[in-house]
Amino acid sequence: MKRIKKILKIVIGAIVFLTLPTLLLYGYLYYKYNEELPIGREGKEADALANKMLDALNHQAYDTTTYLEWTFKKRHHFKWNKAENTCEVYWKNYKVNLNFDDPSKNTAYKGDLKIEAVEAEKLVKKATNYFNNDSFWLVAPYKIFDSGTKRSLVTLDNDEKALLVTYTKGGSSPGDSYLWQLDETGKPKNFKMWTSILPIDGLEASWSDWTTTETGTLLPTFHKMMFLGIEIEGIKTIPDSGQTYYYPNNPTYKNSKNKIDIPLDSLSYFNELLDTLKSLSCTHKTPIINYNDEKSNFKLALPFIHCDGSIGCYKRRNVIELRKDSLFFHTRKLTIDSLPKYLEKHLLNNGKNPMFSQNTNNAIFQIGNLGIKSNINDLKTILIQLSKEYNDINTKHQDSLLLNIQFSNLNN
């Protein structure tokens, strides 16, 4: 009995030793920082202050940004395609593809292994929560007019005006409120938080370490909250490039409900694209490869992938093969500078020359032998050049020509 009492004393003492400092620290922080949610006035003045904040951040640049990539606290990595409303989320050895418009298209992987059923649902839920939280720390100022938000004007003790934003729906924790404090230009300095996940109301976090991205968007790289730091690295953005082109120019692919969008900028290597295409070869889905330059968006449909991942057999005269810096026609190796000439002959032959495709519908442009570990930018360069040359020829012919692009090493 004495031994049991001694053990209990030791256990209780250890618990008190470990928990008492924590409780004292929490009590101190609660007493020092906890604040009641302020009361503000909704209406035109609040919306005017909200618009001043957006103008100070050049929100048009964010609005026309179609792709964002970043790493949150060195733990979670995101590739968010705003234009397609999808996001790839990475952590540890997990990868989850989120489709916010059609959750049935969500997929989850552990390494190279696709996860199914209940375990996949858990990973999708975790990735969604990561995205909701981590993207908010990146783009929160641009969300103040989101559906379900309420904006109120709050007068601080120093008579400065602050913007209180409450999210009545959406995200992982609807009902949260944030009080934005602004500098004289309207640019955010910090916000205070009233959220369901924080045990203390009114905690303050800085919004001061800004960077200007490739698209002109202002985004934060660091937040300070009490003695904690929240670091955001690897920020990359891509702008809305304006006009969009579909290949082949066929409404069947443009409006298909079975299409799967594959943004090239979300990939790093050529083999990642090949693996993705192979995985779709027997699914009755149409892969749509998205790529862009500074002026245009391009969407390439690949409807001809067979169940074995191959692309079928074609007469030699129907195929021009493009590589990184050259093209092959029959057995001839030509410089890439000859592309416009051979592209036009290939598309406009119409039976004139037996060496070339006999009609536009049979003309195939294959891309291959780039090397499995080739950087995805090598492929993007080829596709953009081919697309531009084709667009010039097609415009002269009232958009009546087809462009069929395939990959010759899908089954390698």
Are residues 181 and 281 part of one domain? no
263 occurs within a structural domain: yes
Are residues 335 and 233 part of one domain? no
Q: Could you tell me if 96 and 121 are in contact, meaning their C-beta atoms sit under 8 angstroms apart? A: no
Residue 390: the pLDDT is: 86
CA 45 to chain centre: 34
CA pair distance 15, 1, nearest whole angstrom? 21
Q: What phi, psi does 59 have (nearest 5°)?
A: -65, -20
159 occurs within a structural domain: yes
Residue 243: the pLDDT is: 72
Which one of 178, 203, 237 terminates a domain? 237
Structural domain count of the chain: 3
pLDDT, tens only, 40-79: 888 889 999 999 999 999 888 898 888 899 999 999 999 9
201 occurs within a structural domain: yes
327 strand-pairing partners: 322, 334
Q: Could you tell me if 218 and 54 are in contact, meaning their C-beta atoms sit under 8 angstroms apart? A: no
CA pair distance 407, 412, nearest whole angstrom? 11
Q: What is the pTM of this model?
A: 0.57
Are residues 265 and 312 part of one domain? yes
Percentage of the chain exceeding pLDDT 90: 29
List the alpha helices (DSSP H) in 280-375: 339-348
Are residues 137 and 56 part of one domain? yes
Are residues 125 and 193 part of one domain? yes
For the record, the structure tokens of 347 come out as 């598309």
Are residues 342 and 204 part of one domain? no
CA pair distance 148, 261, nearest whole angstrom? 29
Q: Calculate mean pLDDT across residues 16-25.
A: 46
97 occurs within a structural domain: yes
Are residues 212 and 67 part of one domain? yes
Q: Which structural domain, as residue segments, surrounds residue 82?
A: 41-237
Which one of 187, 210, 237 terminates a domain? 237
Q: What phi, psi does 278 have (nearest 5°)?
A: -60, -40
Are residues 257 and 170 part of one domain? no
Q: How confident is the model at residue 135 (pLDDT cuts 50, 70, 90)?
A: very high
84 occurs within a structural domain: yes
CA pair distance 316, 153, nearest whole angstrom? 70
Are residues 7 and 102 part of one domain? no
170 occurs within a structural domain: yes
Closest Cα partner for 196 from 172, 165, 164?
172
Are residues 272 and 210 part of one domain? no
Q: Calculate mean pLDDT across residues 13-25.
A: 46
Are residues 111 and 20 part of one domain? no
CA pair distance 169, 175, nearest whole angstrom? 7
CA pair distance 77, 90, nearest whole angstrom? 5
pLDDT, tens only, 84-126: 889 999 999 999 999 998 898 899 999 889 999 899 999 999 9
Residue 284: the pLDDT is: 74
Q: How far apart are the first and last CA of the chain?
A: 74
412 occurs within a structural domain: no
* DSSP SS3 for 166: strand
Are residues 214 and 150 part of one domain? yes
CA pair distance 60, 50, nearest whole angstrom? 14
CATH number of 136's domain:
2.50.20
